[in-house]
Amino acid sequence: MKVLVPVKRVLDYNVKVRVKADGSGVDLSNMKMSMNPFDEIAIEEAVRLKEAGTATEVVAVSIGVPQAQDTLRTALAMGADRALLIQSDQDLEPLSVAKLLKAVVAEEQPTVVILGKQAIDGDNNAVGQMLAALLDWPQATFASKVEIAGNKATVMREVDGGLQTIEVDLPAVITVDLRLNEPRYASLPNIMKARKKPLDVKEAASYGVDIAPRLQVLKVAEPAKRKAGIKVEDAADLVMRLKNEAGVL
């Protein structure tokens, strides 16, 4: 069984995000970039499936700038067997990413695609679902537990107000949530071995997929600064303010 894990290079979660002065986007120049934390969890799950003997090969794929190779090397150091970079300088929309991944699935023929439920930069939470729809595969999103047996995957999902367990036929798309597992640290020997694992680079254009943007970014701005709170006199004052000033009562 082959597992395909798409991973995205994003601004490191520890970095304080700065908006460009002209409001055209987020300033990424010379910022520390890392693998999307949800994708780390996806890689970890795939590697565990391999270690358990369920999966035979783990392939990591990333779409983006040439430096996304570093992100793929991280995936290889964690235990992926080989990697593919689809190079593009465009900031691709979820639909374009899903279309490119569909093309990769056609080439690679994986039994399951495991990916983060969302990337922490765009927070779109869309690629997994779109990919499943394009492939006409079942989808199991927000996984907090994954069991694969025979031709089926049993996935516990984090939903509003609790957990839902579903069974899907394979092949399927699984998107992972935060509590699925705790990603390992890459060991020093594996970091060294990762340099020798195969990493292919292809141009996005070579897939013949329409990746023209459908959306236009009008403005990117920082959230408004929180205003200082006030002390209310008593309960009556609170109710009055909630009614008249906040307009919530």
Partner 1 sequence: MQIYTAPLRDMRFVLHELHGLERLYALPAFADFSDELVDSVLEEAGKVTREVLLPINASGDEEGCVLDNGVVRTPKGFKEAYNVFREGGWNALSAEPEWGGQGLPKCVGSAVEEMICGANLSFSLYPGLTAGAVEALKSHASDELKQRFVPKMVEGTWAGSMCLTEAHCGTDLGLLRTKATPQEDGSYKIDGAKIFISSGDHDLTPNIIHLVLARLPDAPEGVRGISLFLAPKFLPDADGNPGQRNGIQCTALEHKMGIKASATCQLSLDNATGWLVGEPNKGMAAMFTMMNTERVGVGIQALGVAEAAYQSAVAYARDRIQGRALGGAQHPDQAADPIIVHPDVRRMLMTMRVNNEGCRALAAWVSQALDLRTHAATEEERLEAEDFVALMTPVVKALFTDLGYESVNLAMQVHGGHGYIRDHGMEQYVRDTRITMIYEGTNGVQALDLVGRKMPAHMGRYLRRFFHPVAEFIAANKADPDIGKMVEALEKAFGALQLTTAQLAQSGMKDPEEAGAAATEYLRLFGLVALAYLWARMAKVAAGKLAAGDPDAAFYSAKLISARFYYERILPQTSALFLSIKAGKGAMMEMAEAAF
Contact residues toward partner 1 (CB under 8 A) are 14, 29-30, 32, 70, 73-74, 77, 185-189, 191-192, 194-195
Q: What is the nearest approach in angstroms of partner 1 to the Cβ of residue 179?
A: 18
Q: What is the nearest approach in angstroms of partner 1 to the Cβ of residue 47?
A: 15
Give CA–CA dist 140/165, Å, rounded. Answer: 9
Give the CA radius of gyration of the chain: 21
191 vs 240 by CB, closer to partner 1:
191
Q: What is the nearest approach in angstroms of partner 1 to the Cβ of residue 50?
A: 18
195 vs 243 by CB, closer to partner 1:
195
66 vs 213 by CB, closer to partner 1:
66
Q: What is the nearest approach in angstroms of partner 1 to the Cβ of residue 190?
A: 8
Contact 215, 97 (CB under 8 A): no
Kindly state the helix (H) or strand (E) to which residue 156 belongs, with its residue range.
Answer: strand 152-159
Q: Could you identify the residue written with the tokens 């964690």?
A: 78
Bridge partners, 116 (sequence order) = 176
Q: What is the nearest approach in angstroms of partner 1 to the Cβ of residue 192?
A: 6
29 vs 244 by CB, closer to partner 1:
29
5 vs 35 by CB, closer to partner 1:
35
Instruction: Kindly report the number of other CB atoms within 10 A of residue 123's CB atom.
Output: 8
3-class state of residue 25 by DSSP: coil
Bridge partners, 148 (sequence order) = 153
